[in-house]
Amino acid sequence: MKKWKIIGLIFALFFLTISADAPQKKIEGPKLHKYRPVNFSDNLHNSLKTGPQNEAKSFVSGQVLVKFRPSLSRHMRRMALTAYQSEPIKIIPKLDIYQLKIPEYTSVEEMVYLMNMNPFIEYAEPNYIAHITTTPNDPLFYLQYALSNTGQKIGNVPGSPQGKENADIHAPSGWEEETGKDSVIIGFIDTGLDFDHPELQNKYVSRGKDFVNDDDDATDDHGHGTHIASLAAAETNNGIGIAGVAWNCKILPAKAMDATGSGSYAHIIEAIRWLADNGAHIINLSIGGDADSSALEDAMKYAYSLGVVLIAATGNDSSEVLYPAAYDSYCLAVAATDYNDAHASWSNTGPQVDVAAPGERILGCVPTWYPAQVWGDFDVDPYAYGYGTSSSSPQVAGLAALIKSLKPDLSGRDIMNIIRYSADDVNQDLFPGVDDYIGYGRVNIEKALRPVRITKIRK
């Protein structure tokens, strides 16, 4: 109780000081925040619980993300931080979002509640934690049914399932139009990249940025990032391994996820901003968190405003679309189909879903240092199968890069619409038109790249 009296007094003094110094004009009341409880005493510790089961969202202990209203001066912001006894870890450039370290005696829930009572703060929220949306299972072209499905067996071991002819993204016929330009850069926010992999060692623009370890070397210490990047842009037609969707396009990695496959929203936000400011035309996010975040949405909006095409995985929980894929105004949310062109049962659903791409047993690269036996039943190193919308999303990112290569003057919005409206409605027998399962349909590279008129499907 004593600490609450102290914090309450500090807050009151700070509010009165600002009010006295502020210009004499009508001040709007505090912005209602979805995480602020109606009743402080009863609901404070439940204020970060949402969803049908009231499941608590995971976040970084001792940190909050804050955005002040633009009218508040830098001096007054410093006073505010002093009043809240919080220290800035960093200010994310251009987005003006503060990552703060809060006092040890105060919980994240308490600080978020207090800050959201302040009318000079646009929003305050926890530094949520996201996770990669799939874990690769096992492992060049004849096995890549996602690119070309001839009805072949999906695997090289006894008992492998058999695919359905043409249940693929029609890559070979699309490549007749465009295989990608090296001037087009695909950014990846993930666990990093294996820079020594023979399929990737000539593909990256730089060693990227590591926001987890705060350095300029986004080396993959997990494996997920390497697998995802290879699906979009592995070196192709080189006589080894697999084919990437965008043969010649370049890779720029931003490591926001650690060796366990988890990462804070603050790191993801920084990565989005950094990639958008450092030449990425496309950004792939094969990651997802279950918490809505104004700060994360701000980052997506910022990148989108610069013409960046954002592609995000919907998630693999047979539940609602994860974030950032759920920010449908700024990105393409990608669900998963299987080798029979059916919606994968585990692929998340919702009105935000835009398109789908194969996500069941998708062959890609894995780090050269990774033990092959960990990945399962494939005996050719360093390749493995991956499962999930994480594997679906980079195929769409590769398609976006091909469109950008073919028509470099198209806006990000135009590219996204081409991908939507050229997709095949492969579940039309059950759900004709746009639906919550695969959106506009499974993507079709051939239709997206060929100079034909594409008719918009009304949502």
- Closest CA relative to residue 88, chosen from 55, 64, 61: 64
Domains of the chain: 57-128 (3.30.70.80), 141-449 (3.40.50.200)
Burial of 304 (C-beta count, 10 Å sphere; 0-12/13-18/19+)? buried
For residue 116, the model assigns a pLDDT of 96
Distance CA 183, CA 391 (A): 24
Task: Name residues of the chain where pLDDT drops below 70.
Answer: 1-56, 133-142, 155-159, 371-380, 451-459
Beta bridge partners of 252: 187
Q: Is 190 a catalytic residue?
A: yes
121-132 and 262-264 strand pairing = antiparallel
Distance CA 434, CA 425 (A): 8
Annotated catalytic residue within 390, 391, 392, 393: 390
- Closest CA relative to residue 287, chosen from 263, 270, 269: 263
Annotated catalytic residue within 33, 131, 222, 224: 224
Q: Are 215 and 221 in contact (CB under 8 A)?
A: no
DSSP H or E segment with residue 4: helix 2-21
Q: Is 197 a catalytic residue?
A: no
- Closest CA relative to residue 156, chosen from 170, 168, 142: 142
Structure tokens at 90: 């960093």
Annotated catalytic residue within 168, 190, 424, 435: 190
Measure Cα distances from 70 to 37, 74, 77, 123 in Å: 25, 10, 10, 12
For residue 228, the model assigns a pLDDT of 97
* Reported pTM: 0.83
Distance CA 441, CA 74 (A): 48
Q: Are 147 and 172 in contact (CB under 8 A)?
A: yes
Give the 3-state secondary structure of residue 408. coil
Distance CA 309, CA 284 (A): 9
- Closest CA relative to residue 268, chosen from 254, 282, 279: 254
Give helix 389-406 / helix 224-233 axis angle, nearest 10°. 40
Q: Is 183 a catalytic residue?
A: no
CA angle (233 as vertex; 242, 261 as ends), nearest 5? 95
Counting DSSP H helices and E strands in the chain, the numbers are 11, 17
For residue 458, the model assigns a pLDDT of 52
- Closest CA relative to residue 265, chosen from 47, 100, 59: 59
Distance CA 213, CA 440 (A): 39
**H-type alpha helices, 308-357:** none
Distance CA 87, CA 106 (A): 13
Distance CA 266, CA 302 (A): 15
